[in-house]
Homo-oligomer: A and B are copies of this chain.
Amino acid sequence: MTKSLNTTVDIGGLRINNPITVASGTFGFGREYENFIDISKLGGIMAKGLTLKPREGNPTPRIAETSSGMLNSVGLENPGVEYFVKNELPYLKSKGVTVIANISGNTVEEYCEMCNILDNTKTDAIEMNISCPNVKQGGVAFGTDKDIVYNITKEVRKSTNKPLIVKLSPNVTDIREIAKSAQKGGADGLSLINTLLGMAVNIKSRRPILRNNVGGLSGPAIKPVALRMVWQVSQVVDIPIIGMGGISTVEDIIEFLLVGASAISIGTANFINPRVTTDLLKELEKYMIENEIKDINDIVGKIKPY
């Protein structure tokens, strides 16, 4: 039965076996989850966000819980792109995992240099994070101005032959403008949404809970905002969208596909149930059978708005 189902989707020139990927920064480089699941079953792994040089990230506390959500101010702790290429990528590829490298830079040049490094590797695609709210320089600035998004995408586009996915920040007035600029700049696909900028306060100490004062909000709380943005963007671009933000059930996945995502990423939910991805893959296939959906692409964008 399952055999006759098509779950493969295209995310900008890269075909993946199923639409369930994992969100960058929530899945490390995959190793931690091998205690729980067969990671090669995933559509793909968006690896932990990389920078050109290793970063220690922000001091702790880096985590705060909020209603149906969490804030993080990890601040892109990572071993740097070269370490990744040498020590993590070969391992993941040996396991048969589809690997999408997630990159963050302080300058256009840094992004391009990282692409140059990744281009000669087996990385399957590049997800360009122009939205991380935790890094003071770069981060927010890149992702919130449509002209900058256009320019940086255009430049980075020249530095890589891999599928280039641009990951957008939700902390903007009009996500459609940003998305159109990324497409115009040459993006093959779009990921949205990254975290909403938020804050939590400890009333006893009268201090922010996060040592970084503010952090990125993720989890079920942001799902309505994410759905809205995916829906808005899917109406103005022609490239595939990877939808994310608070996904934790198979219904959530269907919702994102209906509003126009070709694939989805699961983030925060991995922390609560490290088997959520493969559990949901099974449920997705069951859903397809029950609803006589032969090809998962048949429901992408099939919402009927009023």
Q: Mark A residues whose CB is within 8 Å of B.
A: 64, 66-69, 71, 144, 171-174, 196-201, 203, 205-208, 211-214, 217, 219-225, 227-228, 231, 246, 251, 254-255, 258-259, 299, 302-306
Of the listed residues A172, A196, A224, the one surrounded by the most CB atoms of chain B closer than 10 A to its CB is A224
> In the bound complex, do residue A306 and residue B227 qualify as a contact, i.e. CB atoms below 8 Å apart?
no
Complex copy number for this chain: 2
A-B contact pairs, 19 of them (CB 8 A): A66-B220, A66-B221, A66-B224, A67-B246, A68-B69, A69-B221, A144-B173, A172-B173, A196-B224, A196-B225, A198-B228, A200-B224, A203-B258, A207-B303, A207-B304, A208-B306, A213-B305, A217-B224, A221-B221
CB distance from A208 to the nearest CB of B (A): 6
> In the bound complex, do residue B69 and residue A224 qualify as a contact, i.e. CB atoms below 8 Å apart?
yes
Contacts of A220 in B (CB 8 A): 66-68, 221
> In the bound complex, do residue A306 and residue B259 qualify as a contact, i.e. CB atoms below 8 Å apart?
no
> In the bound complex, do residue A197 and residue B225 qualify as a contact, i.e. CB atoms below 8 Å apart?
yes
Q: Contact partner of A206 among B205, B221, B303, CB < 8 A?
A: B303
> In the bound complex, do residue A67 and residue B221 qualify as a contact, i.e. CB atoms below 8 Å apart?
yes
Given A207-B306, A303-B206, verify A228-B254 contact (CB < 8 Å).
no
Q: In the assembly, what is the distance between CA of A205 and CA of B222, in Å?
A: 23
Q: In the assembly, what is the distance between CA of A302 and CA of B304, in Å?
A: 49
> In the bound complex, do residue B306 and residue A221 qualify as a contact, i.e. CB atoms below 8 Å apart?
no
> In the bound complex, do residue A211 and residue B66 qualify as a contact, i.e. CB atoms below 8 Å apart?
no
> In the bound complex, do residue B214 and residue A201 qualify as a contact, i.e. CB atoms below 8 Å apart?
no
Of the listed residues A201, A231, A305, the one surrounded by the most CB atoms of chain B closer than 10 A to its CB is A201
Contacts of A68 in B (CB 8 A): 67-69, 220-221
Q: Which residue of B lies closest to A200 (CB)?
A: B224
Contacts of A259 in B (CB 8 A): 199, 201
Contacts of A258 in B (CB 8 A): 201, 203, 206
Q: In the assembly, what is the distance between CA of A172 and CA of B258, in Å?
A: 26
CB distance from A70 to the nearest CB of B (A): 9
Q: Which residue of B lies closest to A303 (CB)?
A: B206
Contacts of A67 in B (CB 8 A): 68-69, 219-221, 223, 246
Given A67-B68, A171-B173, verify A227-B198 contact (CB < 8 Å).
yes
> In the bound complex, do residue B66 and residue A306 qualify as a contact, i.e. CB atoms below 8 Å apart?
no
